[in-house]
A and B are shown apart, each in its own frame.
Chain A
Amino acid sequence: MKALVYLEHHEGDVLEASLGVLSKAATLGGDVAGVVVGSGVRALADGAGSFGASSVFVADDERLASPLPQPRVDVLARLVRHEGFDTVLIAQSVLGSDIAAGLAVRLGAGINWDLTDIAEEDNALHGTRPALTDSISVAVGWTSDVRIAVFRSGAFDATPGDGTAEVWDATVELEEHSVLAELVEATRAESSGPSLEAAAVIVAGGRGLGSAERFDLVEGLAEVLGGAVAATRAVVDTGWWPYSGQVGQTGKTVAPRLYVAVGISGAIQHKVGMQRSGTIVAINNDPRAPIFDYADLSVIGDLHDIVPRLTVLLRDRRGS
Protein backbone atom coordinates (compact mmCIF):
# COMPACT_ATOMS: atom_id res chain seq x y z
CA MET A 1 0.00 0.00 0.00
CA LYS A 2 1.20 3.48 -0.84
CA ALA A 3 -1.06 5.82 1.10
CA LEU A 4 -1.56 9.58 1.10
CA VAL A 5 -3.22 11.16 4.16
CA TYR A 6 -4.84 14.56 3.78
CA LEU A 7 -3.79 16.75 6.72
CA GLU A 8 -6.48 19.36 7.35
CA HIS A 9 -5.43 22.35 9.43
CA HIS A 10 -7.00 25.29 11.19
CA GLU A 11 -5.31 28.35 12.67
CA GLY A 12 -1.82 26.90 12.50
CA ASP A 13 -2.48 23.38 13.72
CA VAL A 14 -3.10 20.13 11.90
CA LEU A 15 -6.42 18.76 13.15
CA GLU A 16 -6.34 15.99 15.74
CA ALA A 17 -8.66 13.88 13.54
CA SER A 18 -6.23 14.05 10.60
CA LEU A 19 -3.30 13.06 12.82
CA GLY A 20 -5.43 10.16 14.10
CA VAL A 21 -5.93 8.92 10.54
CA LEU A 22 -2.19 9.32 9.91
CA SER A 23 -1.38 7.29 13.03
CA LYS A 24 -3.77 4.56 11.90
CA ALA A 25 -2.31 4.52 8.37
CA ALA A 26 1.17 4.02 9.82
CA THR A 27 0.02 0.84 11.61
CA LEU A 28 -1.17 -0.66 8.30
CA GLY A 29 2.38 -0.79 6.99
CA GLY A 30 3.52 0.31 3.57
CA ASP A 31 4.58 3.75 2.51
CA VAL A 32 2.63 6.53 4.22
CA ALA A 33 2.82 10.19 3.20
CA GLY A 34 0.91 13.26 4.31
CA VAL A 35 -0.13 16.32 2.37
CA VAL A 36 -0.67 19.85 3.70
CA VAL A 37 -2.44 22.37 1.47
CA GLY A 38 -2.75 26.10 2.13
CA SER A 39 -0.90 29.39 2.22
CA GLY A 40 1.98 29.86 4.67
CA VAL A 41 1.64 26.28 5.94
CA ARG A 42 5.16 24.94 5.41
CA ALA A 43 5.84 24.79 9.16
CA LEU A 44 2.96 22.35 9.65
CA ALA A 45 4.76 19.65 7.67
CA ASP A 46 7.50 19.01 10.20
CA GLY A 47 5.31 17.64 12.97
CA ALA A 48 3.67 15.00 10.80
CA GLY A 49 6.70 12.72 10.85
CA SER A 50 6.20 11.82 14.49
CA PHE A 51 2.70 10.55 13.66
CA GLY A 52 4.00 8.08 11.09
CA ALA A 53 4.47 9.90 7.77
CA SER A 54 7.75 9.11 6.01
CA SER A 55 7.25 12.07 3.73
CA VAL A 56 5.03 15.13 3.71
CA PHE A 57 4.07 17.05 0.59
CA VAL A 58 3.39 20.76 0.97
CA ALA A 59 1.29 22.74 -1.48
CA ASP A 60 1.92 26.31 -0.37
CA ASP A 61 0.29 28.92 -2.56
CA GLU A 62 -1.68 32.12 -2.02
CA ARG A 63 -4.48 30.74 -4.18
CA LEU A 64 -4.92 27.98 -1.60
CA ALA A 65 -5.43 30.34 1.35
CA SER A 66 -9.22 29.85 1.59
CA PRO A 67 -10.42 26.48 2.91
CA LEU A 68 -12.27 25.53 -0.29
CA PRO A 69 -12.39 21.96 -1.61
CA GLN A 70 -11.94 22.19 -5.37
CA PRO A 71 -8.36 23.57 -5.57
CA ARG A 72 -7.41 20.85 -3.06
CA VAL A 73 -8.82 18.20 -5.38
CA ASP A 74 -6.43 19.51 -8.05
CA VAL A 75 -3.43 19.25 -5.72
CA LEU A 76 -4.29 15.75 -4.46
CA ALA A 77 -5.20 14.37 -7.89
CA ARG A 78 -1.87 15.47 -9.30
CA LEU A 79 0.04 13.97 -6.37
CA VAL A 80 -1.76 10.64 -6.67
CA ARG A 81 -1.02 10.44 -10.41
CA HIS A 82 2.60 11.59 -10.24
CA GLU A 83 3.67 9.78 -7.07
CA GLY A 84 1.66 6.61 -7.69
CA PHE A 85 -0.41 6.56 -4.50
CA ASP A 86 -3.02 3.77 -4.48
CA THR A 87 -4.88 4.89 -1.35
CA VAL A 88 -6.06 8.29 -0.08
CA LEU A 89 -7.18 8.59 3.54
CA ILE A 90 -9.18 11.59 4.79
CA ALA A 91 -10.71 12.52 8.15
CA GLN A 92 -14.38 13.38 7.74
CA SER A 93 -15.21 17.09 7.94
CA VAL A 94 -17.16 19.60 5.89
CA LEU A 95 -14.03 20.30 3.84
CA GLY A 96 -12.64 16.74 3.86
CA SER A 97 -15.87 15.15 2.58
CA ASP A 98 -16.14 17.58 -0.33
CA ILE A 99 -12.50 17.01 -1.28
CA ALA A 100 -12.93 13.22 -1.13
CA ALA A 101 -16.02 13.16 -3.36
CA GLY A 102 -14.49 15.50 -5.95
CA LEU A 103 -11.27 13.49 -5.96
CA ALA A 104 -13.21 10.24 -6.43
CA VAL A 105 -14.74 11.50 -9.67
CA ARG A 106 -11.50 13.05 -10.91
CA LEU A 107 -9.57 9.79 -10.42
CA GLY A 108 -12.41 7.32 -11.04
CA ALA A 109 -11.63 6.08 -7.54
CA GLY A 110 -14.06 4.21 -5.31
CA ILE A 111 -14.96 6.07 -2.14
CA ASN A 112 -16.14 4.59 1.18
CA TRP A 113 -17.08 7.09 3.86
CA ASP A 114 -18.09 7.25 7.51
CA LEU A 115 -15.61 4.45 8.24
CA THR A 116 -14.76 3.64 11.85
CA ASP A 117 -11.96 1.21 11.03
CA ILE A 118 -9.76 -0.06 8.21
CA ALA A 119 -7.59 -3.17 7.82
CA GLU A 120 -5.54 -4.92 5.16
CA GLU A 121 -5.88 -8.68 4.72
CA ASP A 122 -4.38 -10.75 1.89
CA ASN A 123 -3.41 -7.54 0.14
CA ALA A 124 -7.04 -6.37 0.09
CA LEU A 125 -8.13 -3.32 2.00
CA HIS A 126 -11.46 -3.33 3.76
CA GLY A 127 -13.25 -0.79 5.90
CA THR A 128 -15.94 -0.91 8.58
CA ARG A 129 -18.95 1.35 8.27
CA PRO A 130 -21.85 1.49 10.71
CA ALA A 131 -25.11 2.05 8.80
CA LEU A 132 -28.84 2.57 9.31
CA THR A 133 -28.31 4.77 12.36
CA ASP A 134 -25.56 2.41 13.50
CA SER A 135 -27.89 -0.58 13.87
CA ILE A 136 -25.74 -2.66 11.51
CA SER A 137 -22.08 -2.83 10.63
CA VAL A 138 -21.04 -3.11 6.98
CA ALA A 139 -17.67 -4.41 5.74
CA VAL A 140 -16.77 -2.55 2.56
CA GLY A 141 -14.08 -2.93 -0.08
CA TRP A 142 -12.81 -1.23 -3.23
CA THR A 143 -12.85 -2.41 -6.84
CA SER A 144 -10.96 0.56 -8.29
CA ASP A 145 -7.22 1.08 -8.74
CA VAL A 146 -7.16 4.08 -6.40
CA ARG A 147 -9.06 3.75 -3.13
CA ILE A 148 -10.45 6.65 -1.12
CA ALA A 149 -11.40 6.18 2.54
CA VAL A 150 -13.12 8.83 4.66
CA PHE A 151 -13.17 8.31 8.42
CA ARG A 152 -15.73 9.27 11.01
CA SER A 153 -14.52 12.02 13.29
CA GLY A 154 -12.64 10.66 16.29
CA ALA A 155 -12.26 7.18 14.79
CA PHE A 156 -8.59 6.98 15.77
CA ASP A 157 -6.36 8.51 18.43
CA ALA A 158 -3.35 10.51 17.30
CA THR A 159 -0.31 8.76 18.76
CA PRO A 160 2.99 10.60 18.43
CA GLY A 161 6.24 8.65 18.08
CA ASP A 162 9.79 9.72 17.25
CA GLY A 163 9.85 9.55 13.45
CA THR A 164 10.70 12.39 11.12
CA ALA A 165 9.38 13.08 7.65
CA GLU A 166 11.07 14.31 4.50
CA VAL A 167 9.32 17.43 3.25
CA TRP A 168 8.62 17.89 -0.47
CA ASP A 169 7.02 20.65 -2.47
CA ALA A 170 3.84 19.70 -4.31
CA THR A 171 3.17 21.33 -7.67
CA VAL A 172 0.10 23.55 -7.73
CA GLU A 173 -1.78 23.60 -11.02
CA LEU A 174 -5.41 24.60 -10.70
CA GLU A 175 -8.27 23.72 -13.05
CA GLU A 176 -10.45 26.44 -14.47
CA HIS A 177 -13.61 25.35 -12.65
CA SER A 178 -11.76 24.87 -9.36
CA VAL A 179 -11.05 28.56 -8.85
CA LEU A 180 -14.54 29.93 -9.53
CA ALA A 181 -15.72 29.79 -5.91
CA GLU A 182 -14.44 32.65 -3.81
CA LEU A 183 -14.45 33.09 -0.05
CA VAL A 184 -15.96 36.52 0.64
CA GLU A 185 -16.08 36.46 4.44
CA ALA A 186 -15.32 34.10 7.30
CA THR A 187 -16.72 34.54 10.79
CA ARG A 188 -14.98 32.43 13.36
CA ALA A 189 -17.00 31.34 16.34
CA GLU A 190 -16.15 32.90 19.68
CA SER A 191 -16.06 30.35 22.45
CA SER A 192 -16.96 31.55 25.89
CA GLY A 193 -18.31 30.13 29.14
CA PRO A 194 -17.69 26.62 30.45
CA SER A 195 -16.19 24.23 27.95
CA LEU A 196 -18.77 21.82 26.56
CA GLU A 197 -16.09 19.21 25.92
CA ALA A 198 -15.21 19.10 29.62
CA ALA A 199 -18.74 19.22 31.06
CA ALA A 200 -19.94 16.19 33.07
CA VAL A 201 -23.58 17.07 32.44
CA ILE A 202 -25.02 18.66 29.30
CA VAL A 203 -28.59 19.76 28.67
CA ALA A 204 -29.21 20.33 24.97
CA GLY A 205 -32.15 22.01 23.26
CA GLY A 206 -33.57 21.42 19.78
CA ARG A 207 -36.17 22.85 17.47
CA GLY A 208 -38.92 21.20 19.54
CA LEU A 209 -38.60 24.06 22.03
CA GLY A 210 -40.51 26.18 19.55
CA SER A 211 -38.87 29.58 20.12
CA ALA A 212 -35.72 31.28 21.35
CA GLU A 213 -37.52 32.38 24.52
CA ARG A 214 -38.20 28.80 25.54
CA PHE A 215 -34.48 28.13 25.68
CA ASP A 216 -34.82 29.35 29.28
CA LEU A 217 -36.24 25.89 30.03
CA VAL A 218 -32.95 24.33 28.92
CA GLU A 219 -30.89 26.88 30.86
CA GLY A 220 -32.94 26.35 34.01
CA LEU A 221 -32.59 22.57 33.89
CA ALA A 222 -28.85 22.85 33.15
CA GLU A 223 -28.45 25.10 36.17
CA VAL A 224 -30.05 22.72 38.68
CA LEU A 225 -28.08 19.81 37.22
CA GLY A 226 -24.84 21.83 37.36
CA GLY A 227 -24.40 21.27 33.66
CA ALA A 228 -23.59 23.15 30.47
CA VAL A 229 -26.08 24.18 27.78
CA ALA A 230 -25.83 22.90 24.22
CA ALA A 231 -27.93 23.16 21.07
CA THR A 232 -28.55 21.46 17.74
CA ARG A 233 -27.53 22.90 14.42
CA ALA A 234 -31.10 23.83 13.49
CA VAL A 235 -31.38 25.92 16.66
CA VAL A 236 -28.01 27.62 16.09
CA ASP A 237 -28.75 28.40 12.45
CA THR A 238 -32.09 29.92 13.50
CA GLY A 239 -30.24 32.16 15.94
CA TRP A 240 -31.73 30.82 19.21
CA TRP A 241 -28.33 29.90 20.62
CA PRO A 242 -24.69 30.78 19.70
CA TYR A 243 -22.64 28.52 17.48
CA SER A 244 -20.10 27.90 20.26
CA GLY A 245 -22.77 25.75 21.96
CA GLN A 246 -23.53 23.54 18.96
CA VAL A 247 -23.10 19.79 19.29
CA GLY A 248 -22.94 17.61 16.19
CA GLN A 249 -21.23 17.01 12.88
CA THR A 250 -20.35 20.66 12.25
CA GLY A 251 -20.15 21.54 15.93
CA LYS A 252 -18.57 20.03 19.00
CA THR A 253 -18.14 16.37 19.88
CA VAL A 254 -18.97 15.73 23.53
CA ALA A 255 -19.03 12.76 25.90
CA PRO A 256 -20.53 13.85 29.25
CA ARG A 257 -21.65 11.45 31.95
CA LEU A 258 -25.25 12.62 31.44
CA TYR A 259 -26.74 14.12 28.25
CA VAL A 260 -30.31 15.41 28.45
CA ALA A 261 -31.80 16.08 24.99
CA VAL A 262 -34.84 18.37 25.08
CA GLY A 263 -36.97 18.64 21.94
CA ILE A 264 -34.24 17.10 19.78
CA SER A 265 -35.17 14.65 17.03
CA GLY A 266 -31.66 13.20 17.00
CA ALA A 267 -30.82 13.07 13.29
CA ILE A 268 -27.43 11.66 12.40
CA GLN A 269 -25.69 15.06 12.24
CA HIS A 270 -26.51 15.59 15.92
CA LYS A 271 -25.92 11.99 16.93
CA VAL A 272 -22.29 11.88 15.79
CA GLY A 273 -21.51 14.68 18.23
CA MET A 274 -23.01 13.11 21.37
CA GLN A 275 -23.31 9.35 20.90
CA ARG A 276 -20.40 8.62 23.25
CA SER A 277 -22.24 10.19 26.20
CA GLY A 278 -22.56 7.93 29.26
CA THR A 279 -26.33 8.16 29.76
CA ILE A 280 -28.69 9.78 27.27
CA VAL A 281 -32.09 11.03 28.46
CA ALA A 282 -34.38 12.25 25.66
CA ILE A 283 -37.61 14.21 26.04
CA ASN A 284 -39.69 14.62 22.87
CA ASN A 285 -43.37 14.49 21.98
CA ASP A 286 -42.79 12.60 18.73
CA PRO A 287 -42.64 8.85 19.50
CA ARG A 288 -40.97 8.32 16.11
CA ALA A 289 -38.01 10.64 16.81
CA PRO A 290 -34.74 8.86 15.88
CA ILE A 291 -33.19 9.84 19.22
CA PHE A 292 -35.40 7.25 20.94
CA ASP A 293 -33.48 4.55 19.06
CA TYR A 294 -30.35 5.28 21.09
CA ALA A 295 -31.52 7.06 24.25
CA ASP A 296 -31.12 5.21 27.55
CA LEU A 297 -34.26 6.84 28.89
CA SER A 298 -36.90 7.83 26.33
CA VAL A 299 -39.56 10.19 27.65
CA ILE A 300 -42.43 10.69 25.23
CA GLY A 301 -44.41 13.77 26.19
CA ASP A 302 -44.72 17.54 26.07
CA LEU A 303 -41.41 19.10 27.10
CA HIS A 304 -43.23 22.32 28.05
CA ASP A 305 -44.96 20.42 30.87
CA ILE A 306 -42.19 18.01 31.81
CA VAL A 307 -39.10 20.23 31.86
CA PRO A 308 -40.42 22.96 34.22
CA ARG A 309 -41.69 20.33 36.66
CA LEU A 310 -38.45 18.35 36.41
CA THR A 311 -36.50 21.53 37.18
CA VAL A 312 -38.66 22.21 40.25
CA LEU A 313 -38.33 18.62 41.51
CA LEU A 314 -34.55 18.70 41.12
CA ARG A 315 -34.29 22.09 42.81
CA ASP A 316 -36.39 20.88 45.75
CA ARG A 317 -34.24 17.80 46.01
CA ARG A 318 -31.08 19.85 46.03
CA GLY A 319 -32.55 22.16 48.66
CA SER A 320 -33.50 19.37 51.05
Chain B
Amino acid sequence: MKIAVCVKAVPDAFGRRIDPATFRLDRTGDLSLSEYDAHPVEEALRLRESNGGEVIVVSLGPERAADALRKTLAMGADRSVLVSDGAFAGADLLATAHALAGALRRETADLILFGQQSADGDGACLWAAVAESLRLPVISQVSEITVVDGGLVGRRQTEFGYERIRVPLPAVVAVSDAINEPRYPSLKGIMGAKAKPQEVIGADDVGGEGASGTSVLSVSTPPARARGRRIEGTSDPAQDIVDYLVKERLL
Protein backbone atom coordinates (compact mmCIF):
# COMPACT_ATOMS: atom_id res chain seq x y z
CA MET B 1 0.00 0.00 0.00
CA LYS B 2 1.45 3.34 -1.06
CA ILE B 3 0.48 5.97 1.49
CA ALA B 4 0.97 9.74 1.17
CA VAL B 5 0.65 11.84 4.32
CA CYS B 6 0.00 15.57 3.99
CA VAL B 7 1.63 17.54 6.82
CA LYS B 8 2.43 21.14 7.63
CA ALA B 9 5.43 22.81 9.21
CA VAL B 10 4.19 25.60 11.48
CA PRO B 11 5.84 28.35 13.53
CA ASP B 12 6.49 27.43 17.14
CA ALA B 13 3.39 27.95 19.30
CA PHE B 14 5.02 30.79 21.22
CA GLY B 15 6.29 32.66 18.20
CA ARG B 16 3.03 32.84 16.27
CA ARG B 17 2.38 36.39 15.18
CA ILE B 18 0.95 38.21 12.20
CA ASP B 19 3.27 40.21 9.94
CA PRO B 20 1.70 43.70 10.11
CA ALA B 21 2.77 44.49 6.52
CA THR B 22 1.31 41.45 4.75
CA PHE B 23 -1.34 40.34 7.29
CA ARG B 24 0.13 36.87 6.89
CA LEU B 25 1.41 34.58 9.59
CA ASP B 26 5.08 35.35 10.17
CA ARG B 27 6.95 32.20 9.11
CA THR B 28 10.48 33.57 9.46
CA GLY B 29 11.24 31.81 12.76
CA ASP B 30 11.75 28.14 13.53
CA LEU B 31 9.23 25.75 12.02
CA SER B 32 8.18 22.45 13.49
CA LEU B 33 5.79 19.68 12.52
CA SER B 34 2.20 20.62 13.36
CA GLU B 35 1.31 18.70 16.53
CA TYR B 36 -1.76 17.14 14.86
CA ASP B 37 0.27 15.76 11.96
CA ALA B 38 2.28 13.18 13.92
CA HIS B 39 -0.95 11.13 14.15
CA PRO B 40 -1.49 10.50 10.40
CA VAL B 41 2.25 9.78 10.04
CA GLU B 42 2.00 7.22 12.85
CA GLU B 43 -1.12 5.67 11.27
CA ALA B 44 0.65 5.41 7.90
CA LEU B 45 3.62 3.66 9.51
CA ARG B 46 1.31 1.15 11.24
CA LEU B 47 -0.53 0.46 7.97
CA ARG B 48 2.81 -0.07 6.23
CA GLU B 49 3.90 -2.43 9.01
CA SER B 50 0.84 -4.64 8.52
CA ASN B 51 0.31 -4.27 4.75
CA GLY B 52 3.74 -3.41 3.35
CA GLY B 53 4.32 -0.52 0.97
CA GLU B 54 5.76 2.97 1.16
CA VAL B 55 5.09 6.12 3.21
CA ILE B 56 5.66 9.47 1.50
CA VAL B 57 5.28 12.76 3.36
CA VAL B 58 3.96 15.65 1.26
CA SER B 59 3.96 19.30 2.30
CA LEU B 60 3.68 22.87 1.05
CA GLY B 61 5.90 25.48 2.64
CA PRO B 62 9.17 27.39 2.59
CA GLU B 63 12.39 25.43 1.96
CA ARG B 64 13.21 25.63 5.65
CA ALA B 65 10.23 23.32 6.25
CA ALA B 66 12.48 20.45 5.11
CA ASP B 67 13.93 20.32 8.64
CA ALA B 68 10.50 19.76 10.16
CA LEU B 69 9.73 17.09 7.56
CA ARG B 70 12.89 15.24 8.59
CA LYS B 71 11.16 14.44 11.87
CA THR B 72 8.62 12.33 9.97
CA LEU B 73 11.50 10.53 8.23
CA ALA B 74 13.06 9.88 11.64
CA MET B 75 9.73 8.38 12.76
CA GLY B 76 9.98 6.01 9.81
CA ALA B 77 8.53 7.61 6.66
CA ASP B 78 10.45 6.63 3.50
CA ARG B 79 10.82 10.02 1.79
CA SER B 80 9.41 13.53 1.64
CA VAL B 81 8.18 15.82 -1.13
CA LEU B 82 8.05 19.55 -0.37
CA VAL B 83 6.29 21.95 -2.72
CA SER B 84 8.18 25.18 -2.22
CA ASP B 85 7.78 28.21 -4.42
CA GLY B 86 7.46 31.93 -3.75
CA ALA B 87 4.33 31.82 -5.89
CA PHE B 88 2.59 30.02 -3.01
CA ALA B 89 3.36 32.60 -0.31
CA GLY B 90 0.07 33.45 1.36
CA ALA B 91 -1.75 30.64 -0.48
CA ASP B 92 -5.32 30.21 0.80
CA LEU B 93 -7.24 26.93 1.01
CA LEU B 94 -7.96 26.88 -2.73
CA ALA B 95 -4.34 27.49 -3.76
CA THR B 96 -3.01 25.12 -1.09
CA ALA B 97 -5.36 22.35 -2.24
CA HIS B 98 -4.19 22.95 -5.82
CA ALA B 99 -0.51 22.64 -4.85
CA LEU B 100 -0.97 19.52 -2.73
CA ALA B 101 -3.22 17.86 -5.32
CA GLY B 102 -0.55 18.56 -7.96
CA ALA B 103 2.14 16.94 -5.84
CA LEU B 104 -0.14 13.98 -5.04
CA ARG B 105 -0.98 13.41 -8.71
CA ARG B 106 2.73 12.65 -9.29
CA GLU B 107 2.62 9.95 -6.61
CA THR B 108 -0.69 8.14 -7.31
CA ALA B 109 -0.89 6.86 -3.73
CA ASP B 110 -3.50 4.30 -2.65
CA LEU B 111 -4.26 6.26 0.49
CA ILE B 112 -3.83 9.95 1.32
CA LEU B 113 -3.88 10.84 5.01
CA PHE B 114 -4.35 14.19 6.77
CA GLY B 115 -4.31 15.23 10.43
CA GLN B 116 -7.42 16.71 11.99
CA GLN B 117 -6.49 20.36 11.54
CA SER B 118 -3.45 22.57 11.13
CA ALA B 119 -1.96 23.87 14.34
CA ASP B 120 -1.71 27.47 13.17
CA GLY B 121 -4.57 28.10 10.76
CA ASP B 122 -7.35 26.48 12.76
CA GLY B 123 -8.82 25.40 9.44
CA ALA B 124 -10.26 21.93 9.28
CA CYS B 125 -11.38 21.05 5.79
CA LEU B 126 -8.33 20.97 3.48
CA TRP B 127 -8.71 17.21 2.92
CA ALA B 128 -12.16 17.66 1.37
CA ALA B 129 -10.72 20.24 -1.06
CA VAL B 130 -7.83 17.94 -2.02
CA ALA B 131 -10.20 14.96 -2.43
CA GLU B 132 -12.39 17.01 -4.75
CA SER B 133 -9.34 18.13 -6.78
CA LEU B 134 -8.33 14.50 -7.22
CA ARG B 135 -11.92 13.27 -7.57
CA LEU B 136 -11.44 10.73 -4.77
CA PRO B 137 -13.78 9.68 -1.93
CA VAL B 138 -13.09 11.27 1.46
CA ILE B 139 -13.76 10.48 5.15
CA SER B 140 -12.91 13.01 7.89
CA GLN B 141 -12.68 12.88 11.72
CA VAL B 142 -11.61 9.25 11.64
CA SER B 143 -10.57 7.63 14.92
CA GLU B 144 -10.03 4.09 13.60
CA ILE B 145 -9.05 2.65 10.22
CA THR B 146 -9.77 -0.98 9.27
CA VAL B 147 -8.41 -2.29 5.98
CA VAL B 148 -10.97 -4.42 4.14
CA ASP B 149 -10.98 -6.10 0.75
CA GLY B 150 -10.39 -3.39 -1.86
CA GLY B 151 -10.78 -0.52 0.51
CA LEU B 152 -11.05 0.58 4.11
CA VAL B 153 -13.62 1.37 6.75
CA GLY B 154 -13.17 4.53 8.81
CA ARG B 155 -14.87 5.07 12.15
CA ARG B 156 -15.67 8.75 12.34
CA GLN B 157 -17.12 10.97 15.01
CA THR B 158 -19.68 13.66 14.23
CA GLU B 159 -21.81 15.91 16.42
CA PHE B 160 -24.40 13.13 16.63
CA GLY B 161 -22.35 10.05 17.40
CA TYR B 162 -20.23 7.56 15.51
CA GLU B 163 -20.40 6.37 11.92
CA ARG B 164 -18.58 3.69 10.00
CA ILE B 165 -17.93 4.63 6.39
CA ARG B 166 -16.50 2.36 3.73
CA VAL B 167 -14.48 3.68 0.81
CA PRO B 168 -12.66 1.92 -2.04
CA LEU B 169 -9.01 2.86 -2.60
CA PRO B 170 -7.60 5.24 -3.59
CA ALA B 171 -9.16 7.50 -0.96
CA VAL B 172 -8.48 10.52 1.25
CA VAL B 173 -8.84 10.11 5.03
CA ALA B 174 -8.41 12.76 7.74
CA VAL B 175 -7.66 11.22 11.13
CA SER B 176 -8.32 12.63 14.60
CA ASP B 177 -5.64 12.91 17.26
CA ALA B 178 -7.38 10.12 19.19
CA ILE B 179 -6.50 7.50 16.55
CA ASN B 180 -3.11 6.63 18.00
CA GLU B 181 -0.19 7.66 20.21
CA PRO B 182 2.60 8.73 17.84
CA ARG B 183 6.02 7.13 18.39
CA TYR B 184 9.08 9.16 19.23
CA PRO B 185 11.92 8.92 16.71
CA SER B 186 14.65 6.54 17.87
CA LEU B 187 18.31 7.56 17.75
CA LYS B 188 18.75 5.12 14.86
CA GLY B 189 15.75 6.68 13.13
CA ILE B 190 17.18 10.17 13.56
CA MET B 191 20.55 9.13 12.15
CA GLY B 192 18.91 7.21 9.29
CA ALA B 193 16.65 10.13 8.33
CA LYS B 194 19.61 12.12 7.04
CA ALA B 195 20.12 9.61 4.23
CA LYS B 196 16.46 9.51 3.12
CA PRO B 197 15.41 11.36 -0.05
CA GLN B 198 13.93 14.84 0.47
CA GLU B 199 12.63 16.19 -2.81
CA VAL B 200 11.79 19.88 -3.29
CA ILE B 201 9.54 20.76 -6.23
CA GLY B 202 8.17 24.06 -7.55
CA ALA B 203 4.95 25.48 -8.98
CA ASP B 204 5.78 24.18 -12.47
CA ASP B 205 5.82 20.63 -11.12
CA VAL B 206 2.32 20.88 -9.68
CA GLY B 207 0.52 22.49 -12.62
CA GLY B 208 1.14 26.16 -11.92
CA GLU B 209 0.54 28.35 -8.93
CA GLY B 210 -3.26 28.13 -8.81
CA ALA B 211 -5.45 30.98 -7.72
CA SER B 212 -6.46 32.09 -4.25
CA GLY B 213 -10.09 33.12 -3.86
CA THR B 214 -9.82 35.11 -0.66
CA SER B 215 -7.97 38.10 0.73
CA VAL B 216 -7.13 39.45 4.16
CA LEU B 217 -8.31 43.05 4.50
CA SER B 218 -7.06 43.97 7.96
CA VAL B 219 -5.99 42.53 11.28
CA SER B 220 -6.93 43.93 14.64
CA THR B 221 -6.30 42.95 18.22
CA PRO B 222 -9.57 42.81 20.11
CA PRO B 223 -9.51 43.96 23.72
CA ALA B 224 -7.96 40.96 25.41
CA ARG B 225 -9.96 39.09 27.98
CA ALA B 226 -8.43 40.31 31.23
CA ARG B 227 -5.42 38.11 31.83
CA GLY B 228 -6.35 35.45 34.35
CA ARG B 229 -4.67 34.78 37.68
CA ARG B 230 -1.93 32.20 37.82
CA ILE B 231 -1.11 29.83 40.68
CA GLU B 232 2.22 28.06 40.43
CA GLY B 233 4.54 26.71 43.08
CA THR B 234 2.43 27.79 46.08
CA SER B 235 2.34 25.58 49.17
CA ASP B 236 -1.38 24.73 48.97
CA PRO B 237 -2.84 25.29 45.49
CA ALA B 238 -6.12 23.55 46.44
CA GLN B 239 -6.69 26.12 49.23
CA ASP B 240 -5.82 28.90 46.75
CA ILE B 241 -8.56 27.62 44.42
CA VAL B 242 -11.11 27.57 47.27
CA ASP B 243 -10.13 31.15 48.22
CA TYR B 244 -10.55 32.24 44.61
CA LEU B 245 -13.98 30.58 44.26
CA VAL B 246 -15.11 32.24 47.52
CA LYS B 247 -13.87 35.64 46.41
CA GLU B 248 -15.63 35.28 43.05
CA ARG B 249 -18.82 34.14 44.86
CA LEU B 250 -18.87 30.87 42.93
CA LEU B 251 -19.54 28.61 45.93
**Chain A interface (Cβ < 8 Å from any Cβ of B):** 10, 67-70, 73, 93-95, 97-102, 104-106, 108-114, 126, 130-144, 147, 150, 175-177, 180-189, 233-234, 236-238, 243, 250-251, 257-258, 268-269, 279-281, 283, 287-288, 290, 292, 294-301, 306-307, 309-310, 313-314, 317
Contact = CB atoms under 8 A, between A and B. Distances in A.
Contacts of A130: 222
B211 interface: yes
Interface in B219-251: 219-222, 224-225, 228-233, 236-242, 244-245, 248, 250-251
A136 B213 contact: no
B161 A189 contact: yes
B132 A181 contact: no
B216 A138 contact: yes
Interface in B2-25: 13-14, 16-18, 23
Q: Is the interface of B mostly helix, strand, loop or mixed?
A: mixed
Contact of A137 (B13, B140, B159, B219): B219
Contact of A69 (B18, B123, B128): B128
B32 interface: no
A95 to B, nearest CB: 7
Interface residues of B, number: 84
Contact of A105 (B123, B129, B137, B177): B129
A110 B123 CA distance: 14
A102 B129 CA distance: 5
Contacts of B73: none
A234 B36 CA distance: 12
Interface in B131-186: 131-133, 135-141, 143, 153, 156-168, 171, 176-179
30 contacts: A10-B160, A69-B138, A98-B138, A100-B125, A104-B93, A108-B94, A111-B94, A111-B125, A131-B18, A139-B218, A140-B214, A140-B216, A143-B213, A143-B215, A176-B135, A183-B164, A184-B165, A184-B166, A188-B161, A243-B157, A250-B141, A269-B117, A281-B245, A292-B230, A295-B228, A297-B229, A298-B230, A299-B232, A300-B230, A300-B231
B195 interface: no
B217 interface: yes
Given A94-B157, A141-B217, A317-B251, 4 more contacts: A97-B125, A109-B213, A298-B230, A299-B231
